[in-house]
Structure 1
């Protein structure tokens, strides 16, 4: 659906900025010139631990929660609106799932090996469930749900034996989440490079809902008209610091792990996302420093569109085959190996290639931005 953003209610600039910064980071880390030579912070952690790259996806789901409050806070009180809102959320979930599956089919049109889990699929499911919870519960209930999700997931992963004969464990291929994915999807429909588990699998979607609930809680503070801006910032700073520290402490018994979306990972990344958004809110919406925000706001106002385009653009470019030194090369590889690699070290060439790709996506989003068009699913 296309909308003219002049007709939209006044947007929180820091929200668009932070969302745009997150999308830019997501595109950057997903499209290196050479993943093997990418700088370590631009790679996911091998298993336990958290690199800057591991912050990107939870930050986006956190922003989904914040955005739910800004979109629905004025409509929540009237229960007559709920069926329509829930129906719209269901439609958006199905569209996002469809987009995610379509991207996989774009690269390999083979239903026998179609990967079912994916980033857009998880965003869609979490968005729908978080929207439903927000409409049907009060803040206190959501706090309880947040705690129940984290504690129950810890218990499930650490104490329930895996049905294939392995004891409860957190190893990549043998943990319960990996077994559930294999049982539900089968290996043919999972992330093939992980060899037996999926980084956005079914069971790990459960704690990712808590990430969105964290965002909802933060959004309610930002939206609360009874709090002065300084009060909002002080409260959010305390929440952010506390959650980050608690996540690090919880990591001692349930390691911080993106692939498992561990409970400690929810707390740690939620805390950092809160601190990041609070800093943006203070600088941009309170202090008025908006000149430096423009680049990322362009991406933030059409975040899903930017992500989808970034996923299909490499395939479109790779349709172009170029003969180089007697070897037929795909478009992306040709550009990297002829324009970047000869001029820079492998690590810098990989980084600059990714930066240029972000700029390419930004140009398309800038066209939409200048025409005051927001594409909504």
Structure 2
């Protein structure tokens, strides 16, 4: 196994930082509209089956985690790091990512007004713990990283390919052929009914309805069973990372392969969609293959523009975002919760308004049509976080796990 040269490493990291930065900035854009009642369709998730550009963001991030995991492991072994030290780092990082997600889900650790009117602060704390969502985006990333990194650390490429196939085909079989307890109906007959799927039953049984996504209450889009194929997305990223690190190949050869394999995976995913629909909320096998292919094509495009023809002047904002993704995710999540739910006050008519609602109505909706105002607020949120991350970047501060 050859290690990347210094020049390749710098170019590779720039391409990855740009790809990752685009993904993180996109995440902030779609997660922070001025109002959820007025959003452009491409900035919304697909209602159930199908996909929009928004549905590419989460799998892209997992795909990138797979790439960086492979490259990091390769670099650590090249410099002679102890295998047990590598293992400890994998276990620690996976646990910390999961823990950060769990803490973000529980913040601010009490039920805020207007929930539980008349309740004491202690009762609000207890209620929050009783309704603390266990799974979530960072929790899924933590589990997928842990499993994918351990596989990359200990298994061969051939074994990883077999495991990937087993995950995707096994999940397909579980979700379509196994009768769902309580109903006895095989999953293929209820794929359009979120709360009747095997994955929903497992989440309710193991996690409990009080600890699921509040937007559904009977199932969780980052639930237990659907995390299995998400590990497959991570593995696909490790394959891409292994390919772009092959120094015996020219940049042209690496790009051609990434474009070709990515396009093929997209077609396979679209064909699989006919029998097991592309669906982010249950992370279907067709969704894994399609989004991994789209991720490979996007990565190849970044490498071609940045490393191939040298167009780099446009990359700086995404480099800033891409070098500090954990700070962007955690910081923006905490900020959004504070300004939309925690920082509220009563208005003259007795109703309550949040800081986010006040800014949106005063600065944006007062003169723009509602949908344009909502989009402008989201763009402003992304710009604000660019300034925050730029300040951190100038000082060399990166939140690492």
Matches within 5 A, 1:175-214: 175-214=197-236
1:243 matched to 2:244: no
Rounded to whole Å, the distance in 1 between the matches of 2:22 and 2:259 is 20
1:148 matched to 2:149: no
Rounded to whole Å, the distance in 1 between the matches of 2:253 and 2:269 is 24
Equivalence for 1:105: 106
Q: For 2:242, which of 178, 196, 220 is the aligned residue?
A: 220
SS at match of 2:82: helix
Residues 239, 271 of structure 1: 8 Å contact kept: yes
Equivalence for 2:24: 23
| Cα shift at 1:315 | 2.8
SS at match of 1:213: helix
Rounded to whole Å, the distance in 2 between the matches of 1:36 and 1:173 is 24
1:133 matched to 2:116: no
Rounded to whole Å, the distance in 1 between the matches of 2:54 and 2:302 is 20
Rounded to whole Å, the distance in 2 between the matches of 1:168 and 1:294 is 50
1:270/1:340 CA distance change after superposition, 3 Å: same
Rounded to whole Å, the distance in 1 between the matches of 2:396 and 2:30 is 28
| Cα shift at 1:325 | 5.6
Equivalence for 1:316: 338
1:33/1:80 CA distance change after superposition, 3 Å: closer
Q: For 1:301, which of 312, 317, 323 is the aligned residue?
A: 323
Rounded to whole Å, the distance in 2 between the matches of 1:185 and 1:359 is 37
Question: Aligned pair count?
Answer: 369
TM-score (normalised: structure 2): 0.89
Equivalence for 2:96: 95
1:334 matched to 2:358: yes
Rounded to whole Å, the distance in 2 between the matches of 1:269 and 1:91 is 28
Deviations 1:307-327 (A, max 9, x none): 111100023335444565645
Deviations 1:240-281 (A, max 9, x none): 100000000000010000011000000111111110010000
Equivalence for 1:157: 175
The structure with higher relative contact order (CA 8 Å, sep 6+) is 1
1:317/1:124 CA distance change after superposition, 3 Å: same
SS at match of 2:353: strand
Residues 346, 353 of structure 2: 8 Å contact kept: yes
TM-score (normalised: structure 1): 0.94
1:375/1:174 CA distance change after superposition, 3 Å: same
Equivalence for 2:133: 115
Equivalence for 2:125: none
Rounded to whole Å, the distance in 2 between the matches of 1:224 and 1:372 is 30
SS at match of 1:329: strand
Rounded to whole Å, the distance in 1 between the matches of 2:179 and 2:81 is 45
Residues 322, 334 of structure 1: 8 Å contact kept: no
